[in-house]
Amino acid sequence: VNSSEFDPNTYFAALKSFVPAPYFLLTHLFTQVDATRSRIKIVNGLTNFTRVLVLMDKSALASAVWLSTNSIGPPYTALELGIGGSIISKALKSVSGISAPALKSLYDKHGDIGDVAFEAKVSVRTLVDPPLLSIKGVYDTLVQIALAKGNKSQDVKQKLVEKLLIRGRGEEVRYLTRTFAQHLRIGAVRTTMLTALARAFTFAEYGSDCPQDKLQRAEEIVRQCYARHPNYDDIVAALLVSGVDNLVESCPMTLHIPILPMLGSITKDMSEMLVRIGSENTEFACEFKYDGQRAQVHCDESGKISIFSRHLDNMTDKYPDIVDVLRSNRAISDTTRSFILEGEIVAIDEVTGALGSFQSLSNRGRKDVQIDSISVTVCLFAFDLMYLNGESLLERPFRKRRELLRGTFAQVPHKFAYAESIDATPLDQDAISTFFHSSIDSKCEGIMVKLLDSVTVPAAGANKRTKSLLSTYTPDLRQESWLKVKKDYDSAADSLDLVPIGGWYGNGRKSNFWSPVLLAVRDPDTGVFQAVCKCMTGFTDAMYKDTKAKYDEGSINVTRVKPFDFETPLTPEFFWVPQEVWEIKFADVTLSPVYSAAQGIVSDRGLSIRFPRFIRKRDDKGVEEASTPAFLAELYRRQHSRGTADPIQEQAA
Ligand code: ATP
């Protein structure tokens, strides 16, 4: 039902006797959402559900949000279920009495572990119906599963999984099992969830005839809040107490909770950058674009330091040397009490200061690195300061943030430095070009160009409109005020971050391994993976082995049946559960007679890429950060604005 016509009170009246909110209510929502591809319907479903839940059982709302978004906590808490395929199979066998061969044949038939569990359990009869599962009860048990540690943890997890499956009825079993496998497959992606929360609380406050602009503003506020404080527990609690209008104050940027990173836009080359950055007297900074790992460092008044990755994982344990250098740095300046700064951690030769490659950085241990046994030494090149001494700097222009950064922290040779930079205007082309080449000589990827102050520039097109380029720090937004100029002029200006979604067995030496692999972009609005190419180049032997182990035939990570959230004209031998991002280079983006990725954005036909080549795994990105169809289309357009004949234009002519 359209949310503006929905009356939550009617549903509440009918459901009152079921408090605490039962899990079947949520799985009913999941079946509705599963049955549609329409984003509007999904948003309506989630919004209406939220409104009923607020009336019925507020304490279940945060749990429902986690369960709907296929997670149990924010990435920085590292709360992971850790339930493998074997735990699920053992639990299913124990709960339903099904034999291993019967389970395997169900899996071959359905290809989805949730559907398998549903069918295995549906015929099991019990004398007495077990008590209903509640939303909060399911969530709390999942947290217990995640927290199970030690050598008995697998048994403990299995028992808890069984406990839930025994109590699950009908559809509940399907979605419980998909949740165990961390592949819920409903289109409740982050943006949809945030939109639904914003709408539900606005309708609740202003009534069903609430004006459209109020709803839009609410969506903006909730999205902004998430970008600064990505934790549904806190967002839901703040919404319940003080509503949407006060959300920014009631759930602000908080130390030790990473903010979503600001993103830059690509340019195809230096001359395009000079046109896009503003008029001839616009001042900007050019910085080395280091090839390492992005890091957001938080320090509170007590001196506690946390370091987060681009994907919001807590990696403080990985970099005790950075913690050390910042702690001593904080001691140097006795006015520094708390801060959030951002920079790139890069492998470095301690003695000469020569920068190492991204590859050498990846040889560093991942966890619990001991400071006296570090073999890969690193330097943090700081490029932004977002918070200082209790005050957010997000709204300050970059010029001011940089001044505060440099005024607050002292450089420590080969351990902590400001990003190498020069200030320029579009008239300083020679200086920029020299700087660009020195960045390449220093093993950097190119340069980042950042506006020092916000400016208004003419917009593209003949209508004489203007647009604002902001030099504030805008979490989670890709801005025109941060431009990337990379070194690969001759090929595509950027790579794609694609999700592997299936594989074929190779020939000859590779007959036991996956090659080629089917790769996809991900639509952030629907969560659908759209296949874009097959890739069989650039893999090392180690990579073949690694991929084989991860997507082993018979494991929970592969299925023969096409998942409904995959859009692909090709059928690989096995589809893979999407869980990682690979960086792929290519010759160019082409209109495709086969693939449907980005269909309808530049043409009725889909897009593909020619000569894809695997570069590296992007461990710092989750599938939510994979390249989007819009980005693929953007690359296609840019390529043709560079002078290559555009078949669409040619056809039109
Ligand atoms: P995006 O973050 O835009 O999705 P990406 O993660 O694939 O893209 P790139 O396109 O390579 O990364 O460019 C942005 C990244 O460059 C930043 O996330 C950061 O890790 C890195 N970087 C290196 N030097 C700088 C710098 N001086 N300023 C900002 N970012 C920098």
Over residues 477-528, the pLDDT tens digits come to 988 899 999 886 544 557 899 999 999 998 888 888 999 999 999 998 888 9
Q: Give Rg (Cα) of the chain.
A: 26
Which pLDDT value is given to residue 648? 56
**What is the pLDDT confidence band of residue 653, given thresholds at 50, 70 and 90?**
very low
3-state DSSP assignment of residue 338? coil
Can you point out the beta strands (E) in 586-627?
588-592, 606-610, 613-617
Q: pTM to 2 decimals?
A: 0.86
Query: What is the whole-number distance in angstroms between the Cα of residue 194 and the centre of ligand 1?
Result: 26
Q: What is the pLDDT of residues 39-93, one digit of tens each?
A: 899 999 999 999 999 999 999 999 999 999 989 999 899 888 988 888 999 999 9
Contact yes or no for 421/287 (Cβ under 8 A): yes
Joined tokens for residue 553? 């035939």
Mean pLDDT value across residues 388-397 = 96
3-state DSSP assignment of residue 524? coil
Among candidate residues 289, 318, 415, 486, the one labeled active-site is 289
Which pLDDT value is given to residue 428? 93
Q: What are residue 151's phi and psi, to 5 degrees?
A: -75, -15
421 CA closest ligand 1 atom index:
27
Query: What is the whole-number distance in angstroms between the Cα of residue 439 and the centre of ligand 1?
Result: 14
Asked whether the predicted pLDDT for residue 171 surpasses 50, the reply is yes
Ligand 1 lining (C-beta closer than 6 Å): 263-264, 287-290, 294, 310, 344, 383, 419, 448, 484, 497
Spatial separation of the C-alpha atoms in residues 68 and 53, rounded to whole Å? 13
Spatial separation of the C-alpha atoms in residues 174 and 171, rounded to whole Å? 5
More confident residue, 179 or 525: 179
**How many C-beta atoms lie closer than 10 Å to residue 580's C-beta?**
18
Atom 24 of ligand 1: nearest residue by CA position: 289
| 105-109, 305-309, 598-602, 645-649: range with lowest mean pLDDT | 645-649
| 226-230, 251-255, 488-492: range with lowest mean pLDDT | 488-492
Mean pLDDT value across residues 159-177 = 95
Mean pLDDT value across residues 459-472 = 77
Q: What is the pLDDT of residues 567-589, one digit of tens each?
A: 999 999 999 989 999 999 998 89
Mean pLDDT, all residues of the chain: 90
Q: 268, 287, 294, 383: which to mutate for ligand 1, most atoms within 8 A of CB?
A: 294
Query: What is the whole-number distance in angstroms between the Cα of residue 219 and the centre of ligand 1?
Result: 27
Query: What is the whole-number distance in angstroms between the Cα of residue 188 and the centre of ligand 1?
Result: 28
Q: Which helix (H) or strand (E) holds 485?
A: strand 478-486
What percentage of the chain exceeds 70 in pLDDT?
Answer: 95
Pairing of strands 293-299, 455-458: unpaired
Asked whether the predicted pLDDT for residue 649 surpasses 60, the reply is no
**Can you tell me the ipTM of this complex?**
0.95
287 CA closest ligand 1 atom index:
27
**What is the pLDDT confidence band of residue 335, given thresholds at 50, 70 and 90?**
confident
| 43-47, 211-215, 634-638: range with lowest mean pLDDT | 634-638
Query: What is the whole-number distance in angstroms between the Cα of residue 342 and the centre of ligand 1?
Result: 11
Residue 289 designated active-site: yes
What distances in angstroms separate CA 517 from CA 506, 552, 572, 584, one per listed residue? 10, 13, 8, 12
More confident residue, 373 or 483: 483
Query: What is the whole-number distance in angstroms between the Cα of residue 341 and the centre of ligand 1?
Result: 15
Which pLDDT value is given to residue 490? 45
Which pLDDT value is given to residue 491? 47
Residues linked to residue 503 through DSSP beta bridges, in sequence order: 517, 574
Atom 18 of ligand 1: nearest residue by CA position: 294
Mean pLDDT value across residues 440-467 = 84
Asked whether the predicted pLDDT for residue 283 surpasses 60, the reply is yes
Q: What are residue 95's phi and psi, to 5 degrees?
A: -75, -35
Contact yes or no for 401/395 (Cβ under 8 A): no
Q: 273, 284, 290, 308: which to mutate for ligand 1, most atoms within 8 A of CB?
A: 290
Joined tokens for residue 19? 């408090």
Spatial separation of the C-alpha atoms in residues 558 and 578, rounded to whole Å? 10
497 CA closest ligand 1 atom index:
7
Which pLDDT value is given to residue 188? 63
264 CA closest ligand 1 atom index:
3
Which pLDDT value is given to residue 643? 55
Which pLDDT value is given to residue 525? 83
Closest CA to 635 of 616, 604, 613, 610: 610
